[in-house]
Amino acid sequence: MIPPGEVPPGCTPVITVRGLRNSFGEQVVHEDLDLAVCKGEILGVVGGSGTGKSVLLRSIIGLQTPDEGEIEVLGENMVGRTEDEAKNIRRRWGILFQNGALFSTLTVAENVEVPIREYFPFIKPPLLDEIASYKIAMGGLPPDAGPKYPSELSGGMVKRAGLARALALDPELLFLDEPTSGLDPIAAAAFDQLVRGLKERLGLTVFLITHDLDTLHSVCDRIAVLADKKVIGVGTIPELLALDHPWIQEYFNGPRGRSAAASYEKGATA
């Protein structure tokens, strides 16, 4: 297995992080963190609570200014950009926040239209509404979800609506922050399949933060493990298990990890 910061052969990097350092006051969250995400892959990011998965995401998308380090997304340097410069990159990615972060005063369809209106104000209403509708369908929601307000949706539907909004601008890169947390196992499995299907259909690159072992097995091409303030390894599950790190062993070989692996193998052979 190659070190986390290095680009594997045959890979076009979409995100590269080098020497990242983040801290809040005395508490250092990341120290000398390296990571590369390849075009067209689904990279799962795992780590115990408080290892800074969300902080890493926030640094990459520019919501958190790191103390040190370089971050490059889609070939553009992200650190120290002004709002205007960052706008061009923001157009090319979509983000699903952990709790959906839907605008509560707008309907689902209007939520999906927000980014489109912002960047392409000349698209006329009938076409705009149709675009919102097929994005909502693409997110796996029934057609009658369009005119509903976020407060009328269940947890799973909020995530799907958030995904539809993340897909609004036909992004090249999709960030998902714990997309299956709070969903029942059936809804979570359906969401996993949805993400996998969208990735194959639209050729997306997906950066996926998760705790869900089933998601890791069924969806992710590679997995990055955050521990000890850095990415300690990137690779497939067998590659990671070859690393003799206690957290990795505990995580994938613990009772939950083993049952997830078993059910995945059963599914693959059946």
Partner 1 sequence: MAEVTYEDGDEGKGAIYRVAGTVNIARAATTQREIDALPDPLTIDLSDINRMDTVGAWIVYRTVRDRGAKVIGASRDEVSLLKQVGEFDVPTRVVPDEPHDFMAVLRELGAWVAETGSTLVGLLGFFGATLIGFGNVIRRPKRFRLNAVVQRFDVVGVRALGIIGLMSFLIGIVVAQQGAVQLAQFGAEVYTINLIGRITVRELGVLMTAIMVAGRSGSAFAAQIGTMKITEEIDAMRTIGVSPVEALVLPRMMAATLMMPLLAFWAMLTALFGGGIFVWLSLGIPPLTYIQRLQEVIPMTDLWIALIKAPVFGFIIALAGCFQGMLVQGNSEEVGSRTTNAVVQSIFLVIVLDAVFAVFFSSIGWK
CB of residue 99 to partner 1, shortest distance in Å: 11
C-beta closer to partner 1: residue 67 or 85: 85
Amino acid making up residue 103: F
CB of residue 166 to partner 1, shortest distance in Å: 13
Which of 56-60's residues contact partners 24+ apart within 8 Å by CB, and which partners?
A: 56/17, 56/20, 56/22, 56/30, 56/226, 57/175, 57/177, 57/207, 57/209, 59/17, 59/20, 59/22, 59/30, 60/15, 60/17, 60/175, 60/207
Q: Which residues contact 88 (CB under 8 A, 6 or more apart)?
A: 76
C-beta closer to partner 1: residue 29 or 109: 109
C-beta closer to partner 1: residue 47 or 100: 100
Q: Rg (Cα) of the chain, in Å, rounded?
A: 19
CB of residue 207 to partner 1, shortest distance in Å: 20
CB of residue 146 to partner 1, shortest distance in Å: 5
Contacts to partner 1 by CB under 8 A: 104, 107, 109-110, 113, 116, 119-120, 122-124, 127, 129-138, 143-144, 146-149, 151, 169-170, 201-202
C-beta closer to partner 1: residue 75 or 254: 75
Strand partners, 46: 225
